[in-house]
Amino acid sequence: MLPSHQRITLDRGCINRSTPTPRSISNSRIAVVGIDIGKNTFHVVGHDNTGAIALRQKWSRGQVESRLANMPPCLVGMEACVGAHHLARKLISLGHNARLMPAKYVRPLRKGTEE
């Protein structure tokens, strides 16, 4: 169990000293990748087979395809939108298993009781 100050730091998404640096991350450990698509930057989170976070980075639009081309095939999940359909076709051609989710399932930070 982590001390409370470390849990708070990790809950905010900050990287502490025990989190592996990007240079020490092995792409072969990553089994599932989640991509939050934005206009110019994409937030990428990769999980290994045990569910632990192995990658958490912010990539620019031009980096996504080239970085995922260097990874072994894995499951890639993202919200369905116009850009995601294009990216999914590219990732499938690279050998990844790209899955698109409806927007109603990709709203973890909604406030209020709206559905």
Question: Hey, where are the domains in the chain?
Answer: 22-105
Report the predicted TM-score, pTM, of the whole model to 2 decimal places.
Answer: 0.68
HSE toward the beta carbon, residue 24, CA cutoff 13 A: 5
The share of the chain scoring above pLDDT 90, in percent, equals 44
Cβ(10)–Cβ(2) below 8 Å: yes
Question: What is the pLDDT, as a whole number, of residue 21?
Answer: 47
Cβ(46)–Cβ(54) below 8 Å: yes
User: What average pLDDT does the segment 17-42 reach?
Assistant: 72
Task: Please give the angle made by the CA atoms of 24, 63 and 53, to the nearest 5 degrees.
Answer: 40
Question: What is the pLDDT, as a whole number, of residue 105?
Answer: 76
Residue 4 is encoded by which pair of tokens? 């409370």
Q: Which residue has the higher pLDDT, 107 or 115?
A: 107
Q: Which fold has domain 22-105?
A: Nucleotidyltransferase; domain 5 (3.30.420)
Q: Which residue has the higher pLDDT, 13 or 69?
A: 69
Looking at every residue in the chain, the average pLDDT score rounds to 78
With 90 as the cut, is the pLDDT of residue 98 above it? yes
HSE toward the beta carbon, residue 49, CA cutoff 13 A: 3
The secondary element (H helix, E strand) that includes residue 97 is: strand 97-101
